[in-house]
A and B are shown apart, each in its own frame.
Chain A
Amino acid sequence: NAGVTQTPKFRVLKTGQSMTLLCAQDMNHEYMYWYRQDPGMGLRLIHYSVGEGTTAKGEVPDGYNVSRLKKQNFLLGLESAAPSQTSVYFCASSYSVRGLQETQYFGPGTRLLVL
């Protein structure tokens, strides 16, 4: 049981390049999330998904796209990377939110540097 895994762990991009971050979970969770963490700040929600084939915008969605083609995978795409997207990206997943006590389990994070 690997939990939540993220690929890659670290990436350097040049401005304007594109890339896709992959998140995978093996806990059969319905909900999946993408956050970014900037220095000195807490995590901010980029996009999330409440089930296979569905996605929605979070707090800071601009410049990112997502897809949830399979229940276990949640992809985060940067079409044209900008230095402002230099950050640590975390994926998380949880069971469907029937109540509020649905703990989110986080991946190890992906460090992205955009030059």
Chain B
Amino acid sequence: AQKITQTQPGMFVQEKEAVTLDCTYDTSDPSYGLFWYKQPSSGEMIFLIYQGSYDQQNATEGRYSLNFQKARKSANLVISASQLGDSAMYFCAMTTYNQGGKLIFGQGTELSVKP
């Protein structure tokens, strides 16, 4: 069975510093995709970044990068130069080829950025 684990319920970071949010996953399917979503206090789910299991390089999108360590089955999100607007819940999610696009979500990490 597929599973996503986020072990950090809450994180604090100083404004302008970098922060890493942890995500580990479990699947026996060799073909899978990993997503990160941001959920601000307003409630909407915002897509941030994607990493495919066969991608050779770590994904990057602006200030977001994904530290993909396939052997360790981890897909950590790195946010550089944190901003106050980064304060939100962050969810890691996975889909596999056999799941046909259905997403499995972790429990989320609440990030608070301090001025």
Contact = CB atoms under 8 A, between A and B. Distances in A.
State which size class the interface on B falls in.
20 to 34
Contact of B52 (A48, A50, A100, A109): A100
B44 A101 contact: no
Given A100-B32, A106-B44, A109-B43, A42 B102 contact: no
B97 A100 contact: yes
Interface string B17-51: 00000000000000111010100000111010010
Given A109-B43, A109-B44, A42 B4 contact: yes
A44 B45 CA distance: 14
Nearest to A97: B101
A26 interface: no
B107 A41 contact: yes
A108 interface: yes
Interface of A: 31, 33, 40-45, 48, 50, 58, 88, 90, 92, 94, 97, 99-109
23 contacts: A40-B108, A41-B107, A41-B108, A42-B4, A42-B91, A42-B93, A44-B105, A45-B102, A45-B104, A58-B102, A90-B45, A94-B101, A97-B100, A97-B101, A100-B53, A100-B101, A101-B50, A103-B35, A104-B35, A105-B47, A106-B44, A106-B45, A108-B44
Given A43-B105, A45-B102, A101-B52, 5 more contacts: A42-B4, A42-B106, A42-B107, A45-B103, A100-B101
